[in-house]
């Protein structure tokens, strides 16, 4: 796998240039997409998918708890914004921190058992959080969710931006996403990231060299949780509503589908996957037959099975193979 090859000493600025290109493409995509709301949603959903890829593709952990951590971020930010009228950046920070705290606890219990039990335990924790969200009506609104989240103006010391217009909010999400993307890239190329990948390949060897896999997995899990939390807070701002379905394990499943569609061995897979997923969902839902009874999910599920069976690298991996075959000729 060519991914992740790069020297840790590489400077921040060499990362920035491709990131700027990515940002420019993303701005252009905003104008191409059929629905303007969709653009921000694609970026936001790509954030937890990024966390899923970091855990599955780079660390080898199948995390089915991403949905609940996403929801924790969304609820924290949503409650703070709707009921306490705090600064947007403070709400986002609080959401991320809250998800971090929850994922520290969750990670402590789940990391102890590897492989399948890990997947099961994260799933169980995910549903536990969903039950809490469902039952704690005074805090979360239970089945009603949280309404009245205000996406007002973002006041910084020097200037203030109104986030209400879709485009302004999109740019805000874009900045968050690109910064996060650079950060995660740096993380993967750092010695820490190399240890994670080493553990993915052979946990025994990593242990023999002297790394403690539990600690590393735990840290990776918490980093994933923080990322999911960020996605959740932005999602709360985007929808201006938070519902309990976010915490359900099906949300985790959706992130898994996005990750696999895009490609789990490369960070760009998150963006491609969430883009294709949301675009396909929107496209399929335009047909009345398919939107009825959620038949679009059936098609997505079938596509997902095919991808998992035959195109393990997802769309990114497939494109890479095609490109290489083309170059050889």
Q: By CB under 8 A, name the binding residues for another protein.
A: 56, 60, 62, 109, 112-117, 119-121, 123-125, 127-128, 131, 135, 249-250, 253, 256-257, 260, 293-295, 297-298, 300-302, 304-305, 308-309, 312
Q: Determine contact, residues 111/182, Cβ cutoff 8 Å.
A: no
Q: Alpha-carbon distance 47 to 31, whole Å? A: 21
Nearest approach in angstroms of CB 62 to another protein is 5
H/E segment holding residue 138: helix 137-140
H/E segment holding residue 161: strand 160-162
Return the number of the residue (220 or 260) whose C-beta is nearest another protein: 260
Nearest approach in angstroms of CB 252 to another protein is 10
Return the number of the residue (57 or 95) whose C-beta is nearest another protein: 57
Nearest approach in angstroms of CB 3 to another protein is 17
Q: Among 316, 193, 325, 223, which residue's Cα sits nearest to residue 265?
A: 316
Return the number of the residue (131 or 283) whose C-beta is nearest another protein: 131
List Cα–Cα distances, 186 to 5, 13, 163, 183, in angstroms. 11, 12, 29, 5
Return the number of the residue (8 or 115) whose C-beta is nearest another protein: 115
Count of alpha carbons within 13 angstroms of residue 8, beta-carbon side? 8
Roughly what angle, to the nearest 10 degrees, separates helices 268-285 and 314-328?
Answer: 110
- Characterise 85 by phi-psi region: left (phi > 0), alpha (psi -120 to 50), beta (else): left
**Residue with the two structure tokens 């980093």:** 223
Q: Alpha-carbon distance 163 to 185, whole Å? A: 28
Return the number of the residue (113 or 286) whose C-beta is nearest another protein: 113
Nearest approach in angstroms of CB 293 to another protein is 4
Return the number of the residue (90 or 305) whose C-beta is nearest another protein: 305
Nearest approach in angstroms of CB 178 to another protein is 29
Nearest approach in angstroms of CB 291 to another protein is 11
């Amino acid at each position: 796998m060519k991914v992740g090859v790069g020297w840790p000493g590489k400077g921040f600025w060499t990362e920035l240039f491709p990131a700027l290109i990515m940002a420019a493409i993303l701005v252009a995509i905003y104008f191409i997409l059929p629905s303007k709301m969709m653009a921000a949603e694609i970026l936001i959903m790509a954030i937890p998918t990024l966390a899923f890829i970091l855990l599955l593709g780079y660390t080898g952990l199948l995390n089915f708890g991403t949905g609940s951590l996403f929801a924790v971020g969304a609820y924290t930010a949503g409650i703070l914004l709707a009921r306490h009228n705090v600064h947007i950046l403070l709400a986002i920070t609080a959401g991320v921190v809250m998800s971090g705290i929850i994922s520290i606890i969750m990670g402590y219990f789940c990391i102890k058992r590897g492989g399948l039990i890990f997947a099961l335990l994260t799933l169980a924790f995910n549903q536990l959080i969903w039950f809490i969200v469902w039952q704690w009506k005074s805090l979360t609104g239970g089945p009603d969710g949280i309404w009245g989240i205000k996406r007002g103006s973002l006041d910084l010391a020097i200037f203030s931006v109104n986030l209400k217009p879709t485009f302004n909010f999109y740019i805000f999400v874009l900045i968050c996403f690109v910064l996060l993307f650079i950060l995660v890239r740096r993380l993967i190329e750092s010695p820490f990231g190399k240890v994670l990948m080493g553990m993915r390949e052979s946990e025994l060897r990593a242990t023999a060299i002297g790394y403690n896999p539990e600690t590393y997995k735990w840290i990776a899990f918490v980093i994933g949780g923080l990322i999911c939390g960020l996605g959740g807070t932005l999602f709360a701002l985007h929808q201006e509503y938070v519902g309990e379905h976010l915490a359900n394990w099906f949300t985790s499943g959706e992130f898994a589908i996005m990750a696999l569609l895009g490609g789990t061995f490369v960070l760009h897979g998150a963006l491609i996957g969430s883009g294709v997923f949301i675009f396909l969902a929107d496209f399929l839902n335009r047909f009345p037959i398919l939107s009825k009874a959620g038949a679009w999910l059936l098609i997505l599920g079938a596509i997902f099975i095919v991808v998992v069976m035959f195109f393990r690298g997802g769309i990114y991996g497939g494109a890479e193979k095609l490109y290489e075959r083309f170059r050889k000729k």
